[in-house]
Structure 1
Amino acid sequence: MQKRNNYTEIEDFLADESFQKWILLKVDEQGWEEWTLENRQRAKLVEDARLLLLAMKVPQKQLTETEIRNALSSTWKKIADRETSFQKSVISFNRGISRNWLFGAAAAILICFFSVWFYQKNNLSANDAVVSYKELIEENNEGLVEQTNNTEKSQIITLSDGSSVLLQPNSKLSYPKIFTGNERKVYLSGEGFFEISKNPKKPFFVYANEIVTRVVGTSFRIKAYPDQQDVEVLVRTGKVRVKPNDLLKEIKNEEVVLLPNQALRFTRKEMVFNKILNITEDQILTSSTRNIEQLSFEFTDIPVEQILKTIEQAYQVEIDYPKDKLQECRLTTSLSDQPLPEKLKIICKSLGNETNYEMNGNQIVITSLGCN
């Protein structure tokens, strides 16, 4: 980790695999975000490297490693020939400048090929996707509402049954205005943390790429971006059942049961299920864990102000409440297995004295005359 302290060129960052994962895959295994904040003198280098990686993120052609090696060899030869020719026709004063420019061009070409190769190894092309979000929506004949998160922050979505979904940036969720029949179905593209209202008579299904997740009442995270090679399901509380979508004919209809602190990773290219019995032993899962999956919602004689701050941190919402009237109030309660609206309802009921809440997106307003 200390070697990055000696990085002085853009190429240094681009050659670092952990930096590539942080930028392209949003996996910060080596604490790049914290390091960048602590080393602001290198902020320009980091930003230039980031922009260059992202600019070359979408390859137009699948390249084999042999093709890459041949292309690099040819590129170096052309640059060397050009520098030899150029040095004969310029004065010595300009020679150093031309050499720097040529080597800069060489580095840029090398970086381009390397980035394309790295991206192809870690992402799916459009042709690799087996089941798309669009296909899933078209299979459904209910009138669906689609919520898209184009912001840089999480968005909270409350469903008609009281369930809540914390939708991450660059993600979208389709769901019916009102759940009818004996099933509850929603469709995800991207990442969302689900807290499902308990109803054994109406199981809840999340359709995400090639997998279907079935629950009754529990909390879990699904990560299913269309251009990434893995689909992940991580369970926080309760029990989850995951199986392949019926649209898949290539694999048998196996079902995997997940308990708290367990996860499943479905590899889309190989169409293989990998069950993870302990998420703390998986580096990718632990590095992507969010506040809502880490914070405890078990409170014993805790000030209401602290409970509300925990909810704000977990759900990335803003809660407005009468601090002067609730500053002496304390609660003992368990909120671990409830969706956000239910958590707020329990808090208000416990406080009593005409305590109520209103929720508008990520804004929550609590009114109260104080605690009983």
Structure 2
Amino acid sequence: MKNRNQYSEIEDFLADESFRLWMRSKEDSKGWEEWTLENPKRAKLVEEARMWLLAMEVPESDVSQQQLDAALQNTWMKIEKVEQERKMEVKLVQLWNTAWFRKVAAILVVGFLSFYAYNTYFNAAENYSNYEQIVSNLDEEGLIEQINNSNKPQILTLSDGSSVLLQPKSKLSYPKIFKGNERNVYLSGEAFFEISKNPKKPFFVHANEIVTKVVGTSFRIKAYTDESDVEVIVRTGKVKVNAAKLIRNSSQEEIVLLPNEALRFERKNQTFDKITDITLDKTINSSVKSIEQLSFEFSDIPVSQIFKTIEQAYAVEIDFPKKALEKCHLTTSLSDQPLPEKLKIICKSIGENSSYTMNGNQITIISKGCN
């Protein structure tokens, strides 16, 4: 066998067992990668040999002989043009007249056709799943779709008591009543979730290519259809991001995120970047909303001030009897509660004669005063 420094033909590489092993399994015991990078011309020849090797291993296809002949002729014309520019016309004609070359060329064309079909019909759907595709393929009927076309966040209350702060230019599809053993919602855009605890019925947010699973916690998801990244940022509790069902060759079934941790999914490359300290990430820091910054731990705080905090966090308006509640102070923790639960706790703490109503972003507190 020739010394590889003397390789000048594709056939030289294809006949080398260590080269074939490197291409197939990435086992590089002979230092092929380092050797290849030493010379640009050598690297180009190695790449061509790699393509031929991959083409020879493509399985049979249902492409007709007529289609194959036409594709071969078209491919050959392109190859011939390139090789003419390299002043190798004579050698190419000799190769074309050999049965071996025709066979490999045929396999190469089939491989290109298969690769194109796969990327068009499978990879495109898998790598760039979006809200419309996901919702249109659902068997679930009776979904409610909420679209925020306004210029400020909208608060949604789900049937299980969970609350969702839906940002402008975002939409959420969810069932009127959660049935079965799961709670599933579908997001396009950005939203902050506060999930009502129910260990027996986990909550799933489907957003582009990822699925976020929770039992009871608060977190934000940013998943716009036209953006290259999907982000999950956890405020309280624990979140599990499921990758295995949607990402091919994933090494992890799920990625666990704790408070002040985040996950960034790059849609094009199908890669995950876990961020263990969100304060060190400039992109996330610049997008933090009021609801993620404000504290809901109150110690002997006037009720009016608590309502102001809620208004600021949820972009809502709260109408309450100021005179009746002006002397009311509360000590309570509302950090890990959906908005409806926060309001229930406040009303119960004020007195049994207190209640609230909620219509969109307008909240009305009914009370005759605190205990």
TM over 0.5: yes
Q: Report the equivalent of 1:315.
A: 314
Change (3 A) 1:128 1:211: closer
Q: Secondary structure at 1:357's aligned position in 2?
A: strand
Q: What amino acid is the match of 1:215?
A: V
1:136 to 134, 142, 147: 134
Q: Report the equivalent of 2:272.
A: 273
Q: Report the equivalent of 1:304.
A: 303
1:131·1:247 contact (CA, 8 Å) conserved in 2? no
Q: Report the equivalent of 1:153.
A: 152
Change (3 A) 1:215 1:127: closer
Give CA deviations for 1:231-269 in whole Å, capped at 9, x if unaligned. 000000000000227244464553110000000000111
Give CA deviations for 1:35-77 in whole Å, capped at 9, x if unaligned. xxxxxxxxxxxxxxxxxxxxxxxxxxxxxxxxxxxxxxxxxxx
Which segment is superposed worse, 276-285 or 129-138? 129-138
Q: What amino acid is the match of 2:139?
A: N
2:234·2:260 contact (CA, 8 Å) conserved in 1? yes
Q: Report the equivalent of 1:239.
A: 238
How far apart are residue 135 of structure 1 and its match? 1.7
Superposed, which structure 2 residues align to 1:1-372 within 5 Å? 130-142=128-140, 143-244=142-243, 246-249=245-248, 251-252=250-251, 254-372=253-371
Q: Distance in 2 between matches of 1:315 and 1:283?
A: 24
2:244·2:254 contact (CA, 8 Å) conserved in 1? no
Structure 2: give runs of 5+ residues left out of the alignment. 1-123
Aligned residues: 247
How far apart are residue 141 of structure 1 and its match? 1.7
Q: Secondary structure at 1:169's aligned position in 2?
A: coil
Q: Secondary structure at 2:179's aligned position in 1?
A: coil
Q: What amino acid is the match of 1:224?
A: A
Q: What amino acid is the match of 1:300?
A: S
Q: Distance in 2 between matches of 1:204 and 1:245?
A: 18
Q: Distance in 2 between matches of 1:171 and 1:129?
A: 21
Q: What amino acid is the match of 1:136?
A: I
1:129·1:226 contact (CA, 8 Å) conserved in 2? no
How far apart are residue 183 of structure 1 and its match? 0.4
Change (3 A) 1:344 1:299: same
Give CA deviations for 1:148-196 in whole Å, capped at 9, x if unaligned. 0000000000000000000000000000000000100000000000000
Q: Distance in 2 between matches of 1:140 and 1:216?
A: 23
Q: Distance in 2 between matches of 1:208 and 1:244?
A: 12
Q: Secondary structure at 1:166's aligned position in 2?
A: strand
Which segment is superposed worse, 177-186 or 351-360? 351-360
Q: What amino acid is the match of 2:287?
A: S
Q: Distance in 2 between matches of 1:255 and 1:203?
A: 15
Q: Distance in 2 between matches of 1:350 and 1:183?
A: 32
Give CA deviations for 1:113-164 in whole Å, capped at 9, x if unaligned. xxxxxxxxxxxxx999611111211232222110000000000000000000
1:295·1:310 contact (CA, 8 Å) conserved in 2? yes
Q: Secondary structure at 1:135's aligned position in 2?
A: helix
Q: What amino acid is the match of 2:242?
A: K
TM-score, length basis structure 2: 0.65
Q: Report the equivalent of 1:37.
A: none
Q: Distance in 2 between matches of 1:342 and 1:291?
A: 19
Q: What amino acid is the match of 1:132?
A: N
Change (3 A) 1:277 1:247: closer
Q: What amino acid is the match of 1:319?
A: I
Q: Secondary structure at 2:291's aligned position in 1?
A: helix
Change (3 A) 1:250 1:189: farther
Q: Distance in 1 between matches of 2:285 and 2:260?
A: 11
Change (3 A) 1:127 1:197: closer
- State, as a whole percentage, how many aligned pairs show the same letter: 69
TM-score, length basis structure 1: 0.65
Give CA deviations for 1:268-315 in whole Å, capped at 9, x if unaligned. 111001000000000111111000000000000000000000000000
Which segment is superposed worse, 215-224 or 136-145? 136-145
How far apart are residue 350 of structure 1 and its match? 0.4
Give CA deviations for 1:292-345 in whole Å, capped at 9, x if unaligned. 000000000000000000000000000000000000000000000000000000
Q: Secondary structure at 1:131's aligned position in 2?
A: coil
Change (3 A) 1:185 1:128: closer
Which segment is superposed worse, 248-257 or 165-174? 248-257
